[in-house]
């Protein structure tokens, strides 16, 4: 299949490499071409604009930073909808707002195109190893067509219903991760203050009821002083803000998630650590 992919960051690069391994032809665009070097070296081709990507593709997938970036990539003067072919499918894999997913599917239908919102979980490791979890909303017929492609980049794929349902599922995911990230951070702060052997603590907790994906994947990085992003803290903060906005809209009070947002705001806004991985939260405790 001729696939277009827009956004070759930490996650997008791993996804594109797996699409190439699966035998697809992939044309890419990224705001900074140098950040696409890895996938271009692996066999992807370059297009100068999102519109040019869409003109060449049966399936266009996007993974960018913020909802404003999504909107620009799709609706800008040189955006996807300026070049899309009737009968194509667009899939936004960015973690974005449910309301924007609804807007995009409406615009897609105006162009005789099907659309899906399909955010993922699993971080850089999941993207590299094709073990992502894919949460999908949008056109059922499009989902049925794209499912084999999703299965080439992820190990679990679930369809949740109409436009925006994939994004709502990702918000539930991020609410859960907020708890595990604050938990693992304060666990380490406590264990260090108690003068425990931290690798031994990790080994012990990983074999019991405290075990979780975030701890297994991020505590080893913290112990090595590795704060490179499997997922940018600034993007996680964006996700928590979306989740809380949606909670407010539904009349929900989520105090633990609010506290996690405040902690990540300190990390990103006060200490300027937004380009660290989410595990960099522990640095804020040093202050």
User: What is the C-alpha separation between 52 and 80, in angstroms, rounded?
Assistant: 8
User: What is the C-alpha separation between 133 and 219, in angstroms, rounded?
Assistant: 21
Q: Using CA of residue 236, residue 61, residue 74, residue 46, what is the dihedral sign?
A: positive
Is residue 104 within 8 A of residue 92, CB to CB? The reply is: yes
The distance from CA 127 to its chain's CA centroid, rounded to whole angstroms, is 10
Q: Tokens for 3?
A: 């696939």
DSSP state of 84: P
Active-site option among 21, 103, 165, 170: 170
CA distances from 285 to 105, 188, 229, 236, 281 (A): 42, 10, 19, 18, 8
Half-sphere exposure (Cβ direction) of 232: Cα atoms closer than 13 Å? 17
N-term to C-term CA, the chain: 51
103 is catalytic: no
DSSP state of 275: T
The torsion region of residue 129 among left (phi > 0), alpha (psi -120 to 50) and beta comes to: alpha
The catalytic site residues sit at 170
């Amino acid at each position: 299949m001729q696939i277009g992919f827009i956004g070759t960051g930490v996650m997008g690069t791993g996804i594109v490499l797996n699409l190439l391994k699966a035998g697809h032809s992939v044309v890419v665009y990224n705001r900074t071409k140098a950040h696409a070097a890895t996938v271009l070296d692996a066999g992807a081709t370059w297009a100068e604009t999102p519109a040019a990507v869409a003109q060449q593709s049966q399936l266009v997938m996007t993974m960018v930073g913020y909802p404003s970036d999504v909107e620009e990539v799709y609706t800008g003067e040189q955006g996807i909808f300026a070049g899309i072919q009737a009968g194509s499918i667009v899939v936004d894999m960015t973690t974005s707002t449910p309301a924007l997913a609804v807007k995009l599917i409406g615009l897609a239908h105006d162009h005789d195109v099907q659309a899906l919102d399909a955010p993922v979980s699993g971080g850089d490791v999941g993207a590299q190893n094709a073990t992502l979890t894919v949460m999908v909303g949008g056109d059922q017929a499009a989902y049925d067509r794209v499912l084999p492609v999703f299965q080439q980049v992820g190990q679990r794929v679930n369809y949740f219903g109409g436009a925006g349902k994939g994004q709502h599922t990702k918000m539930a995911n991020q609410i859960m991760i907020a708890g595990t990230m604050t938990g693992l951070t304060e666990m380490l702060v406590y264990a260090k203050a108690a003068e425990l052997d931290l690798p031994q603590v990790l080994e012990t907790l990983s074999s019991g009821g405290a075990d979780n994906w975030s701890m297994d994947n991020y505590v080893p990085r913290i112990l090595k002083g590795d704060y490179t992003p499997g997922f940018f803290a600034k993007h996680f903060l964006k996700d928590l803000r979306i989740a809380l906005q949606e909670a407010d809209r539904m009349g929900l009070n989520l105090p633990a998630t609010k506290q996690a947002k405040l902690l990540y705001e300190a990390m990103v806004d006060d200490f300027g650590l937004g380009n660290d991985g989410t595990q960099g939260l522990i640095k804020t405790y040093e202050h």
